[in-house]
Amino acid sequence: MAPPPTSEVDCLIVGAGPAGLMAATWMSRCGIKTRIVDKRGTKVFNGQADGLQCRTLEIFDSFDFAHRAWRESNHMLEICLWNPNDQGVIRRSDRIPDTIPGISRFQQVVLHQGRIERFFLDSIKEHSNIQVERGVLPERLEFDASKAEDEDAYPITVTLRHLTDEEATPHQDLSSTATNQALNGSAPQNGMFRSNLAADDTDDLIRKARAEAGSTEIVKAKYMIGCDGAHSWTRRQIGFKMEGEQTDYIWGVLDIIPITNFPDIRMRCAIHSANSGSVMVIPRENKLVRLYIQITTTEKDGNPVERAKIGPQMILKSAQKIMHPYHLTYEYCDWWTAYQIGQRVGSNFSLHERVFLAGDAVHTHSPKAGQGMNVSMQDTFNLGWKIASVLNKICTRSILQTYQSERRRIAQDLIAFDHRFSRLFSGRPAKDIMDEEGISMEEFKSAFEKGNMFASGIAVDYGASVIVAKAGDLAEQGDGTAAESPGRDDKNRVVGKQDLAGDIKIGMRMPSFQVLNQADARPSQFQELLKSNGRWRVVVFAGDLRDPEQWARFTSLGEALAQPSTLFSRCNARAGPNSVIEVLTIHSAPRTAIELLDLPEIFHPFSEREGWDYWKVFVDDVSYHEGHGHAYQNYGVDPTRGCLVVLRPDQYVSWIGELEDVGEMERFFGRFMRVSAA
């Protein structure tokens, strides 16, 4: 028999759920030779995750498809808290904003995972020839650790098996049709085949496909990302464990068009009944409403709940009890599922910074705060550009260690948050202040409010590392060593000057305020200029350019940056101005007091083909139609003297300094940027 064909690829992604697709999107923007495979024959079409947090929408916007999600989704603006009164009857006890006002230009929205996967697929297709290869299952992984540090090596060898259509189509679990039928008699789509209450079928598929001798191929890869969900095959191959525990809760999820007299059915609601448990109501797109019910794994008699009993009718009946005296029923059920929650984090997120794990493959938790899909996508949003920069020989491999140091901590925080919140959500409301076993509804509200900040994704604050120049302990990796390498010796460390921009926090994402284009007066949100294309950015807060002293500082900065010997120039030398490190300027003088072409060329470069670049200089001034963004004030930057801010390709703030601190900025970049000879 002829040996299977062998090919090489720079990045192999296993799993085309939200995490895998986000990784592929980065690769499509950064020109990386990539393959992405998924054992399923089709994408998700309905149900599953639905919440999009505001940071996720900012990220989508950086890839130019937030508008699609924003338009199609249901916008969640208010949370209503319902609790029992003295007679044990539920009543609305409070209202809080769903997204904390002012933290982002987006608010939380809901739209099912299938649409979100569609936006990714369209975007990947528009920018590359990467295509999800469906019905393809990895069945063997070999890793040659001796080649891990050789940049040009392919240390990963994966055998891929191509499945038949039948094998790639998941078996719909209709085993308990009698109890699971929707009210109208039809069996609705269910997500049980993806649920952890159903056994994982990966090993069966491999066995079956081997027996049928389906075609195989061998792929050699430089990097691999396992985005293959909670049962992760990749994780098992590299021997990493999930740490934490399985909870005693099963979550029942029901997507219906409700027929009800409950007044807040189009609001997000947390309803605690006196004695019948709690339900979370999530109003969705297309008139749908999602109900989340937490079911204990054991019946009152101590026996385990029979899996076959869990179905749409059971979930509905629980909701009816909780929402009594209001009525609730439905004619149309779109989807339902049930799954058991483990609160777990992966012991390691990468093997030699060559094979990475992301998304559900390294963290699982409850769906209450709508975090699963968001945190999973944000994992690979963090990782994708790093791998691409190393493959494109822009950065050294040292930056890859920050994936684990940055994202594992987020996963741990998420589990801790989920733990706290679960207890408050599932507990019985306290009857009065003497009722110590009951849950205080004030505590629940306060946790909800605090949780909202965490859940928004805006609060992410990465620790000090080679690419986050801030004071404090260097972020730890899973193995207990500091993430920064090379240069674990502190004397080489670069620390930015945080006090120059009080509201641009080193380690956090760059906030957004309106600025005007100097050349055409058009207003934009500053974040809109920070597209995800793999570029680093130096943001020059040029201050008041009418002031001669400030003008001198600014022109000196221009001269310093333009020196061919600088690392900045050498990085950009291979593909032209702004290709690796882009310079964006925001000044604070009145727009009409400044002429763009008087500014040094480095701030608005000239090309023979396209003339001046008019999209690099901005001003903090009033617009004709959209008011004033007050960017300097909001960013906490001195409007006279300004400052320099370095942003990573994922919009997180790396370093802050004075206009004169070019040498220090060069030292910062010098620790991980690769440059050609001067």
> How far is residue 527 from each of residues 108, 346, 386, 524, 649, measured CA to CA in Å?
18, 32, 20, 8, 12
Residue 535 is a catalytic residue: no
Region from 188-196, 317-325, 435-443, 647-655 binding ligand FAD, contact rule CB under 6 A: 188-196
**Structure tokens that stand for 174 in this block:** 């209709």
Q: Is 642 exposed, middle or buried (0-12, 13-18, 19+ CB in 10 A)?
A: buried
Distance CA 242, CA 226 (A): 14
On the CB side of 265, CA atoms within 13 Å amount to: 22
Q: How many CB atoms lie within 10 A of CB 287?
A: 13
Region from 190-198, 423-431, 512-520, 655-663 binding ligand FAD, contact rule CB under 6 A: 190-198
Q: How many CB atoms lie within 10 A of CB 23?
A: 32
Distance CA 119, CA 103 (A): 25
Contacts of 457 (CB under 8 A, 6+ apart): 53, 54, 55, 56, 374, 375, 378
Region from 10-18, 382-390, 501-509, 638-646 binding ligand FAD, contact rule CB under 6 A: 10-18
Distance CA 564, CA 326 (A): 73
Judged by CB under 6 A, does residue 18 bind ligand FAD? yes
Cβ atoms 617, 598 nearer than 8 A: no
Least Å distance, CB 292 to ligand FAD, is: 7
**Structure tokens that stand for 566 in this block:** 């600088």
Judged by CB under 6 A, does residue 138 bind ligand FAD? yes
36-61 exposure pattern, b = at least 16 Cβ within 10 A, e = fewer:
bbbbbbebbebbbbbbbbbbbbbbbb
Cβ atoms 465, 483 nearer than 8 A: yes
What is the three-class DSSP state of 76? coil
Considering 10, 35, 38, 50, which one is annotated as catalytic? 50
Type of residue found at 581:
I
Least Å distance, CB 13 to ligand FAD, is: 9
Residues 99, 108, 202, 477: which binds ligand FAD (CB under 6 A)? Answer: 202
Judged by CB under 6 A, does residue 50 bind ligand FAD? yes
Residues 9, 11, 15, 260: which binds ligand FAD (CB under 6 A)? Answer: 15
* Euclidean distance between the first and the last CA atom of the chain, given in angstroms as a whole number: 54
Judged by CB under 6 A, does residue 38 bind ligand FAD? yes
Q: How many CB atoms lie within 10 A of CB 360?
A: 26
Size of the site for ligand FAD (CB under 6 A): 36
Residues 12, 13, 16, 319: which binds ligand FAD (CB under 6 A)? Answer: 16
Residues 373, 415, 583, 644: which binds ligand FAD (CB under 6 A)? Answer: 373
Least Å distance, CB 290 to ligand FAD, is: 7
Least Å distance, CB 520 to ligand FAD, is: 40
Residue 50 is a catalytic residue: yes
Residue 236 is a catalytic residue: no
Type of residue found at 344:
R
Least Å distance, CB 174 to ligand FAD, is: 16
Judged by CB under 6 A, does residue 372 bind ligand FAD? yes
Least Å distance, CB 126 to ligand FAD, is: 21
Pairing of strands 109-110, 90-97: unpaired
Considering 55, 194, 268, 284, which one is annotated as catalytic? 284
Distance CA 327, CA 361 (A): 40
Region from 42-50, 298-306, 312-320, 403-411 binding ligand FAD, contact rule CB under 6 A: 42-50
Residue 367 is a catalytic residue: yes
Judged by CB under 6 A, does residue 20 bind ligand FAD? yes
| Closer residue to ligand FAD, CB minimum distance, 202 or 477 | 202
Residues 28, 195, 392, 465: which binds ligand FAD (CB under 6 A)? Answer: 195
Least Å distance, CB 323 to ligand FAD, is: 19
Considering 283, 367, 429, 639, which one is annotated as catalytic? 367
Cβ atoms 482, 667 nearer than 8 A: no
Residues 107, 340, 350, 376: which binds ligand FAD (CB under 6 A)? Answer: 376
Judged by CB under 6 A, does residue 367 bind ligand FAD? yes
Alpha-carbon Rg for the chain in angstroms: 27
Judged by CB under 6 A, does residue 278 bind ligand FAD? no
Judged by CB under 6 A, does residue 19 bind ligand FAD? yes
Q: Which of residues 220-259 bind ligand FAD (CB under 6 A)?
A: 227-229, 233, 253
**Structure tokens that stand for 76 in this block:** 């969640």
Residues 49, 424, 475, 529: which binds ligand FAD (CB under 6 A)? Answer: 49
Active site residues: 50, 284, 292, 367
Residues that bind ligand FAD (CB under 6 A): 14-20, 37-40, 48-51, 113, 137-138, 191, 194-195, 202, 227-229, 233, 253, 337, 339, 359-360, 367, 370, 372-373, 376
